[in-house]
Amino acid sequence: SAFLGQPAPKAAPAIDFIKPLSPAEEKTSPEFFNILNFVLQFCPTNPSETELMARFAKIGVGAGKIFDASKLSPEMKTAVARGVADAWANFDGLLKEFDAGKVTSGDVFGTREYLKNNYLYRMAAAVLGIYGNSKQEAMYPLYAVDAAKQKLDDANRYTVRFAPGQLPPVNAFWSLTMYEMPQSLLVANPINRYLLNSPMLPQFRKDADGGLTLLIQNESPGKDKESNWLPAPKGPFVMAMRLYWPKEEATEGKWSAPLAQQVKK
């Protein structure tokens, strides 16, 4: 306001935030619907969802309403619980499609106009990476399993190899970041390295054919190979690749991230 030479705007009213649930409680507790009601106060109903919200209102779901499960009939309570369970079961099924490469981050992130009312995809975006960019801005290939569909962990060593000319196609930059599970946190390691990315290309050791092999494992692969090493934690982990300002090869599915290959012992 001093910059504009105008009176300061009226302060926004204070918000009395509702107590959150734990991630586990969100999947089963009826109190989730009261948190939903709280959030809906700040979300005007889209015209495409007017009928849907009218149906929800019949059981006490809507902006500022109180959801009281004790007032529902036994049959209704069962139906609500099954509906929640079905949603999470569908989400688990979608994760398998992610692992199989049938669905990508470019499918689940984006505007309302792009996603329309695909609630499963919108749920996935909120659970996996809320506020993720549309695919024109960024794409996020996720490494949760290896090429054999086995979850990643420190019991194995892995490689991610880009064939010659097959580095992530971007106009900006790309990265591959390590996350310890189930915390989804960065991993402390002896070389203080938490990701590998395109600005590091000059220091990477290239393959004989000009390709690039990244080494994913808990222990050092040896000083002569540490330039390509992304340290993994003890226990399970996932990796997230990020392509910023991806080129058409990525957004149109002509390029796909190479799979993590388990190194034979």
Pair 117, 75 in one domain:
yes
Residue 6 scores a pLDDT above 70: yes
**Under a CB-based contact definition with an 8 Å cutoff, are residues 77 and 103 in contact?**
no
Residue 129 scores a pLDDT above 90: no
Pair 88, 157 in one domain:
no
Look up the domain containing 161 and give its range: 138-262
Q: What is the CATH number of the domain that holds 247?
A: 2.60.120.1600
Question: Can you give the pLDDT at residue 131?
Answer: 87
Pair 158, 230 in one domain:
yes
Pair 154, 193 in one domain:
yes
Angle subtended by helix axes 74-99 and 119-129, to nearest 10: 70
Per-residue pLDDT band for 68 (boundaries 50, 70, 90) equals very high
16 inside domain: no
- pLDDT tens digits along 154-202: 999 999 999 999 999 999 999 999 999 988 899 999 999 999 999 999 9
**Under a CB-based contact definition with an 8 Å cutoff, are residues 223 and 216 in contact?**
no
**Under a CB-based contact definition with an 8 Å cutoff, are residues 217 and 62 in contact?**
no
Pair 104, 145 in one domain:
no
Question: Can you give the pLDDT at residue 8?
Answer: 86
CA-CA-CA-CA dihedral for 28, 34, 37, 38, to nearest 10:
-120
Residue 2 scores a pLDDT above 90: no
1 inside domain: no
Measured CA to CA, the distance from residue 113 to residue 68 in angstroms comes to 33
Pair 236, 197 in one domain:
yes
**Which residue among 104, 129, 154 closes a domain?**
129
- pLDDT tens digits along 136-165: 999 999 999 999 999 999 999 999 999 999
Exposed, middle or buried: residue 50 (CB in 10 Å: 0-12, 13-18, 19+)? exposed
**Under a CB-based contact definition with an 8 Å cutoff, are residues 213 and 160 in contact?**
yes
How many domains, in total, are found in the chain? 2
18 inside domain: no
**Under a CB-based contact definition with an 8 Å cutoff, are residues 1 and 62 in contact?**
no
Pair 74, 187 in one domain:
no
4 inside domain: no
Residue with tokens 């086995």: 150
Per-residue pLDDT band for 265 (boundaries 50, 70, 90) equals confident
Per 3-state DSSP, the chain is made up of helix, strand and coil in percentages (nearest 5) of 35, 15, 50
Closest CA to 219 of 228, 210, 229, 209: 229
Question: Can you give the pLDDT at residue 217?
Answer: 98
**Which residue among 105, 129, 153 closes a domain?**
129
Q: What is the mean pLDDT of the chain?
A: 95
End-to-end CA distance of the chain: 65
Average pLDDT for 107-127: 94
Question: Can you give the pLDDT at residue 100?
Answer: 85
**Length, in residues, of the chain:** 265
Question: Can you give the pLDDT at residue 59?
Answer: 94
Pair 107, 143 in one domain:
no
Pair 45, 155 in one domain:
no
Name the helix (H) or strand (E) containing 74: helix 74-99
Helix (H, G, I), strand (E, B) or coil at 23: helix
221 inside domain: yes
Residue 1 scores a pLDDT above 70: no
Average pLDDT for 110-134: 92
- pLDDT tens digits along 31-67: 999 999 999 999 999 999 999 999 999 999 999 999 9
Average pLDDT for 247-262: 95
Pair 205, 108 in one domain:
no
Pair 123, 142 in one domain:
no
